[in-house]
């Protein structure tokens, strides 16, 4: 199961973020998270572009394996 710390660590590794907060807002089951990300990578970007930058850095385990296989 993915934890808030897993997501935070992934975002910190993938984005040049100066601040990342990730909260499990699902009541503890890990099905929904809220994230606050502060990054210079968002400068000049629309809300949708910022959302896409964050979402493209998140994978399920099977999606991550597929992405790794494509780059190998």
The domain that contains 9 carries what CATH number? 3.30.300.90
**DSSP secondary structure letter of residue 40:** G
- 11-27 per-position pLDDT tens digit: 888 888 899 999 999 98
**Average pLDDT value for residue range 22-35:** 89
Tell me what the pLDDT averaged over the chain comes to. Answer: 85
Confidence of residue 49 (pLDDT cuts 50, 70, 90): very high
Is residue 36 one of the residues assigned to a domain?
Answer: yes
- Domain count for the chain, please give it: 1
Q: Which residues of 19-37 are buried (b: 16+ CB within 10 A; e: fewer)?
A: ebebebeeeeeeeebeeeb
Q: Domain range holding 9?
A: 4-59
pTM: 0.69
């Amino acid at each position: 199961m993915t934890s808030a710390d897993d997501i935070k660590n992934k975002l910190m590794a993938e984005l040049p973020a100066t601040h990342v907060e990730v909260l499990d807002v699902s009541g503890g089951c890990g099905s929904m998270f809220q994230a606050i990300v502060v990054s210079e990578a968002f400068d000049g970007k629309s809300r949708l572009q910022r959302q896409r930058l964050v979402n493209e850095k998140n994978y399920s385990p099977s999606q991550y394996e597929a992405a790794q296989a494509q780059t190998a």
